[in-house]
Amino acid sequence: MKNKKYQNILVTGGAGCVGSTLVPLLLKAGYKVRVLDNLMYGGMGLLTNFSNPNFEVIIGDIRNKTVVTSALKNMHAIIHLAAIVGYPACDKYPREAQEINYQATKQLNELRGKNQLLIFASTGSNYGHVESGMCTEETPLAPLTNYGRSKTKAEEAIVTSPNVIIYRFATAFGLSPRLRLDLFINDLTYQALKTKHLVIYEKDYRRTFIHVKDMAKSFIFALENSSKMIGQTYNVGDESMNLKKEDIVNILLQKLEFILNFTDSGRDADQRNYAVDYSKIKKLGFKTDISIENGTDEMINAFKVVTIKNPYSNY
């Protein structure tokens, strides 16, 4: 049920992978939605929303104080997605990662009214390399990449401010109106289907995953349950998707025929290796719906039909 306290929602980065999935859900739930996005990847993922009178878009840079001040007017809550996402993109654009992921988040927090709810999309990448055990929200943060470091600094800048909820997400996967193929499971699925050959190194490294639709759903959950969640940080995902790289490959082997080679010669520049405990948010009633099995099924069906030109050109 829509929380009447938060009628008007600003979604920064709303044309991105998660945002383009979230916005239709918000509109369907009866919220009025304003998107702030620079449209660096285009706005095609937003096209179906323009017939809705409760939808609007501001094209602008999250770093621009004047633009952000205007976008915040009359908004009750901000879902802050705008970011340079993932270690490859942040390594390619380190200055932008610092300015957008950290400095713009700090500025947004300073510009918003303190009665405006801020829900910040952070990342489990902040945990870094944890050889054993499960990461809880109290686990010390030890980010290994520009991406993790910029998100950790952003968390530190806003965590003590009023009306803040911080989400540390598992790694996204699945189809979205703004499809990303640089995501681990999406990439493996695409390559297994198209090239029929996977080379996997560090096969025992653990990762944790969440479908992009469940990520979107979690923001609506926060709006509806804000009174119980404000001032807290939550891991968002499910323990059933704490998996090794080898586990993901084995799921794909049940669905597709491809040549598989495990090797000891490669090394991932992102040395994340961790599993995560999600009991804190689950105790409030949130649960994910889409398994990796179902998510890879939908991608396989789509990739068999849809031609993706230059699939990695944006990354």
Residue 239, judged by CB atoms within 10 A of its CB (0-12, 13-18, 19+), counts as middle
How far apart are the C-alpha atoms of 295 and 214, rounded to whole Å? 11
254: which 2 tokens? 């049940």
309: which 2 tokens? 């030109």
Residue 135, CA distances (Å) to 114, 121, 275, 291 in order: 31, 18, 6, 21
Mean of the per-residue pLDDT values of the chain = 92
154-182 pLDDT, tens digit per residue, is: 999 999 999 999 999 999 999 999 999 98
82 neighbors 59 (Cβ within 8 angstroms)? no
Closest by CA position to 290, among listed 209, 221, 189, 223: 209
**What pLDDT shows up at residue 177?**
94
How far apart are the C-alpha atoms of 288 and 105, rounded to whole Å? 27
189-224 pLDDT, tens digit per residue, is: 999 999 999 998 888 888 899 999 999 999 999 999
Torsion angle, alpha carbons of 229, 74, 45, 43, to 10: -140
Position 3 confidence tier, pLDDT thresholds 50, 70, 90: low
28-65 pLDDT, tens digit per residue, is: 999 999 999 999 888 999 999 999 999 999 999 999 99
Position 313 confidence tier, pLDDT thresholds 50, 70, 90: low
Which residue reads 């649960």 in tokens? 287
63 neighbors 103 (Cβ within 8 angstroms)? yes
Mean per-residue pLDDT, 257-273 = 77
Secondary structure (DSSP) of 148-177: HHHHHHHHHHHTTSSSEEEEEEPEEES--S
**What pLDDT shows up at residue 310?**
64
pLDDT surpassing 60 at residue 90:
yes
Secondary structure (DSSP) of 188-249: HHHHHHHT-EEEEESTT-EEEEEEHHHHHHHHHHHHHTHHHHTTEEEEES-GGGEEEHHHHH
Cα atoms in the 13 Å half-sphere on the side-chain side of 271: 7
pLDDT surpassing 90 at residue 271:
no
106-159 pLDDT, tens digit per residue, is: 999 999 998 999 999 999 989 988 877 789 999 999 888 889 899 999 999 999
Maximum separation of any 2 CA atoms in the chain, in Å: 55
Position 13 confidence tier, pLDDT thresholds 50, 70, 90: very high
- How far the first Cα of the chain sits from its last, in Å, is 37
Beta-ladder partners of 169: 123, 236
How far apart are the C-alpha atoms of 234 and 167, rounded to whole Å? 5
pLDDT surpassing 60 at residue 315:
no
How far apart are the C-alpha atoms of 66 and 36, rounded to whole Å? 12
**What pLDDT shows up at residue 172?**
96
How far apart are the C-alpha atoms of 79 and 93, rounded to whole Å? 23
**What pLDDT shows up at residue 272?**
67
Mean per-residue pLDDT, 276-296 = 97
32 neighbors 9 (Cβ within 8 angstroms)? yes
pLDDT surpassing 60 at residue 1:
no
33 neighbors 14 (Cβ within 8 angstroms)? yes
**What pLDDT shows up at residue 311?**
61
